[in-house]
Homo-oligomer: A and B are copies of this chain.
Amino acid sequence: MEDEETHLTQNKQIILKNFIEGRNPRETDLEFKISKVSLRIPKGSGGVVVKNLYLSCDPYMRGRMRDFNGSYIPPFVPGSVIQGFGVSKVVDSNDPNFKIGDLVTGFTGWEEYSLLQKTEQLKKIQPGDIPPSYYVGLLGMPGFTAYAGFYEVCSPKQGDYVFVSAASGAVGQLVGQLAKLHGCYVVGSAGTNQKVDLLKNKLGFDEAFNYKEEPDLNSTLKRYFPQGIDIYFDNVGGSMLDAALLNMKIHGRIAICGMVSHVSYTEGIQNLFMLITKRIRMQGFLQSDYVHLFPKFLEFIISNYKQGNVIYIEDMTEGLENAPDAFAGLFSGKNVGKKVICITHE
C-alpha cells in the first residue's frame, strides 16, 4: 500500500534486539516490526530497491549476533534489520545492470523491501524451470559450501568411506549426494527418524542413523564403519567430532565446515591425539575462499539436477512474521532440509 504523497509503504522487518552470548539464538531474540520504506531510490543514490521474496536461514548468522568484531564477517547492529542471503525482485533501479522486474540473489535485509546499494554482490537469476528459492540453497551458498568443501577440502577418491553429520540439512544433503556420485560409501547422521528415512530412501545415502537415539557415538560409528572413515564432513563439531576422530582411517581427512553444536558443548575435544596416530588432516574452510569455482559449480549442479542425479529438499516457512521461529529452529533441528522463509511468492 504505497502512500501517494510520500511514496512510503509499510515494511515488515526482523530486528535483532540485543547481542547474545554463549547460547543458541531463541525466537525472542528477534523482533517482528512494521516500519515504512520508500519504494523509490533516493535522489543521488545508486543501487536498487528490491522486494524480497525468499530469505535463507543459515546457522552462520548466529555468529553475527555476538558482540565480536574479530570474525570474518561483522556483527549485526542491535535494533536494526538483520541481513542474509535472499532472492528478490527489483522494483526500482538506478543501476544500468538491473532493471525493474529482474530477479536477483545476494545479500539483502530480513524485511519486505530493501534498498541495496552494493549491487556488485547481486547476481541475476534467469527465470526458468528451477524454482527461484533454490538460489539460496542448492544453487546458492549452502550448495556451494558442499561442493567446495567436498571437492576442494576432502580429497575424495572413489570407494572412500564418507561420514556426514547434519546430513539432511542444506549443506549435508548435497555433500552426501556428491559423495555418492563420486563412488563413495556414505553414511549420514541426523536428529530425527524422519530425517534418517529421507537420507536412506530419498537422498540415496547408503546408511543413516538418528544420533539422538545413540547412547555411545563411538560404538555407533564403529558399527557403521567397521573399517573406519576416510572422510568426515563435519557440520556439527562437539561429541560427534570426538567420536569420529576415534574412527578415522589412516590418512583420513576431516573437513570442518561448521560446529553447530559448539555453543552447547563445553567438554572440549578429547581425541585429537588420533590426528597423529592416524595421520589425519583436519581442515577448516569457508566457501567464500573458493568463489572462483562458483560458475563451474552452478553449471555442474544445474546439469546434474536436471538429469535427476541430484535432488533437493527444501523446508519453506511462509510469512516473515514466522522468521524468528524458523531461524531459532536451526539450532534444535526443527528444519527438515534447507530452511527458507517465503515472504511472498511473486
Interface residues of A (CB under 8 A from B): 71-72, 237, 241, 256-259, 262, 267-270, 272-286, 289
> How close is A141's CB to chain B, nearest CB, in angstroms?
14
A284 touches B289 (CB 8 A): no
A276 touches B289 (CB 8 A): no
Choose among B268, B277, B284 the residue that contacts A276 (Cβ–Cβ < 8 A): B284
Chain B residues in 8 Å Cβ range of A237:
272-273
A275 touches B283 (CB 8 A): yes
Q: How many chain copies does the complex carry?
A: 2
B285 touches A279 (CB 8 A): yes
A286 touches B279 (CB 8 A): yes
Complex alpha-carbon distance, A259 and B257, angstroms: 25
What residue of chain B has the Cβ atom nearest to residue A72's Cβ?
B277
Complex alpha-carbon distance, A285 and B133, angstroms: 44
Chain B residues in 8 Å Cβ range of A71:
277
Chain B residues in 8 Å Cβ range of A289:
279
Complex alpha-carbon distance, A289 and B280, angstroms: 12
Chain B residues in 8 Å Cβ range of A268:
267-270
> How close is A230's CB to chain B, nearest CB, in angstroms?
15
> How close is A199's CB to chain B, nearest CB, in angstroms?
24
> How close is A126's CB to chain B, nearest CB, in angstroms?
32
Closest CB pairs A-B (n = 4): A268-B268, A275-B284, A276-B284, A269-B269
Complex alpha-carbon distance, A274 and B286, angstroms: 11
Complex alpha-carbon distance, A150 and B273, angstroms: 19
B259 touches A272 (CB 8 A): yes
Complex alpha-carbon distance, A280 and B72, angstroms: 13
Chain B residues in 8 Å Cβ range of A273:
237, 259, 262
